[in-house]
């Protein structure tokens, strides 16, 4: 998997990105290689390598990430037509960056998996 520092650099605004949401726990920004008209990446501001690394101390971050995704979907006006939330885990699961992140996809009819 590739370098996780890119997400840290976006969170700390060292790398330019179109951030659509940021608070003390979560940062959400537009994907640079979108797979749909709306493709937002949602990341925790603390480093967690993958969903395998969720534990008792950091489990609430997933609820925060989902809450942010749902609110972005509402703000982007895709909440009624539909959207997809994806979390990939490790190489065989399609995770390309070794940093827990969620994809919010929408803005068109998405193909079935």
**What domains can you pick out in the chain, each with its CATH number?**
5-106 (3.30.428.10)
Distance, CA of 52 to CA of 35 (rounded, Å): 25
Catalytic residues: 101
Question: Which pair of tokens denotes residue 46?
Answer: 């603390």
User: Using CA atoms, how far apart are residues 51 and 42, in angstroms rounded to an integer?
Assistant: 13
98: tokens are: 């070794």
CA 10 vs CA 26, 51, 82, 89: distances in Å:
12, 20, 27, 21
pLDDT digits (tens, 9 = 90+) for 69-104: 999 999 999 999 999 999 999 999 999 999 999 999
**pLDDT tens-digit series, residues 1-51:** 457 789 999 999 999 999 999 999 999 999 999 999 999 999 999 999 999
What is the distance between the alpha carbons of residues 28 and 45, in angstroms, rounded to a whole number? 10
Per the CB < 8 A criterion, the answer to whether 110 and 84 are in contact is: yes
Report yes or no: 40 and 103 within 8 Å, Cβ to Cβ: yes
């Amino acid at each position: 998997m590739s370098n996780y520092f890119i997400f840290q650099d976006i969170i700390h605004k060292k790398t330019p990105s179109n951030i659509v949401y940021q608070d003390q726990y979560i940062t959400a920004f537009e994907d640079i290689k979108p797979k749909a008209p709306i493709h937002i990446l949602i990341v925790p501001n603390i480093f967690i390598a993958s969903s395998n690394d969720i534990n008792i101390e950091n489990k609430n971050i997933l609820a925060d990430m989902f809450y942010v995704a749902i609110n972005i979907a509402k703000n982007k006006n895709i909440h009624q037509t539909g959207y997809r939330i994806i979390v990939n885990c490790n190489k065989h699961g399609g995770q390309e960056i070794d940093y827990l992140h969620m994809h919010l996809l929408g803005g068109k009819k998405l193909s079935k998996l």
